[in-house]
Amino acid sequence: MNKMKTKLLKVIWDDSAMYTEWYDMEELRAMIRDWKTVKTV
């Protein structure tokens, strides 16, 4: 599970590196949740 989360986080950071400069970890987690929801639908 942690491996999957780490991989997902890395993918998001690789694809949208600029966001890591703008969002703190709390906002980044929310963004990841939204991203996962979009991908699941």
DSSP 17-29: TTHHHH--HHHHH
pLDDT tens by residue, the chain, 41 residues: 456 555 555 555 555 555 555 556 777 778 788 887 776 65
Check if the beta carbon of residue 8 is closer than 8 Å to that of residue 36: yes
pLDDT at 30: 83
For position 34, what pLDDT does the model report?
A: 84
Q: What is the pLDDT, as a whole number, of residue 17?
A: 56
Q: pTM, whole model, 2 decimals?
A: 0.33
Confidence (pLDDT) at 38: 74
- Check if the beta carbon of residue 32 is closer than 8 Å to that of residue 9: yes
Q: What's the pLDDT at 32? A: 80
